[in-house]
Structure 1
Amino acid sequence: MKPPHIRCLPTALTPLADKFYRAQRSPMRTKQADQVWVAESDEIVGALCLRTVADGFWLTSLLVAATRRNQGIASHLLDRALAEVEAPVWLFCGPALADFYARLHFKPAADLPVELAERLSRYQRTKSLIALRYR
């Protein structure tokens, strides 16, 4: 199987990522200002969103189709998107994903922008999450 093509979607096409998220039964959704990256074969098989926050970006969603997991798609998608960004990128994830992101050079975030710190505090009331930073 050939590797998927990775690209940043033009704003007019970002609803395609929402369609992908819905098809995967994910609550993830894009916003108009998000930078939306996809991995495509004959269809979208992975997507991620980078949302502007403070002096960087917040990785709000990364999802690969259930049938295409463990093929390196998430890593390639992240590598390609992050290569285009010269600012910090933060994300929240469950502790089980920390090693995956560490292999992609994410480190524990010692300081978060206020907006993200407040959001993380709210999220941590109901789930176990950690904050990581790239760059």
Structure 2
Amino acid sequence: MTTLVYSLLDAPLWPLMNKFYRHHQSSMKAVKDAQLWVARQEEIIAGLCLRPVANGYWLTGVFVAPEWRKQGVAATLIDRAVSACDGPVWLFCDPGLQGFYERLGFSLDTRLPHALHERLVRYQRNKAMVALGIGL
């Protein structure tokens, strides 16, 4: 079995992240102003985006290929990406995922940057979401 590699995706390879999301019918999208992190075993098996915001980062787009779930891939990918950040990291998630992120060191955060607070309020109009942060 080939070892999993966790790394930043080089800018010229960014289209591969959107191809990965589309292949799995995910609504996630990679954005060019973000750091794109992937887990690979030859092909991309998981990805996430870290978008710069207010002297920190907003973690979005966490997705693991279904056949790789429940094997620690997401936790390792998030840990590697967040460890490389030089500021706080915030995320929004369904309340059912709060425990997963708390085990990774995130905690409920009510001190969101203004731009993220406004976005969270908009998202909460349509679905339950909580804001979590790390390195605050």
The TM-score normalised by the length of structure 1 is 0.97
Shift of 1:70: 0.3
Partner of 2:85: 85
Partner of 2:61: 61
Partner of 1:18: 18
The question of 1:102 aligning with 2:71 is answered: no
| 1:71 maps to amino acid | Q
1:68-104 alpha-carbon deviations (Å, 9 max, x no partner): 1000000110111111112000000000000000000
| 1:82 maps to amino acid | V
The question of 1:131 aligning with 2:135 is answered: no
| 2:95 maps to amino acid | P
Shift of 1:11: 1.1
Point out where structure 2 has 5 or more consecutive residues left out of the alignment. Answer: none
Partner of 1:120: 120
| 1:111 maps to amino acid | R
Shift of 1:42: 2.3
The TM-score normalised by the length of structure 2 is 0.96
Would you identify which runs of 4 or more consecutive aligned residues in structure 1 move more than 3 Å?
Answer: none
| Separation of aligned partners in 2, 1:45 and 1:13 | 15
Point out where structure 1 has 5 or more consecutive residues left out of the alignment. Answer: none
| Separation of aligned partners in 2, 1:106 and 1:121 | 20
The question of 1:50 aligning with 2:50 is answered: yes
| Separation of aligned partners in 2, 1:26 and 1:51 | 19
Partner of 1:71: 71
| 2:98 maps to amino acid | A
| Separation of aligned partners in 1, 2:3 and 2:120 | 34
In the alignment of these two chains, the number of paired residues is 135
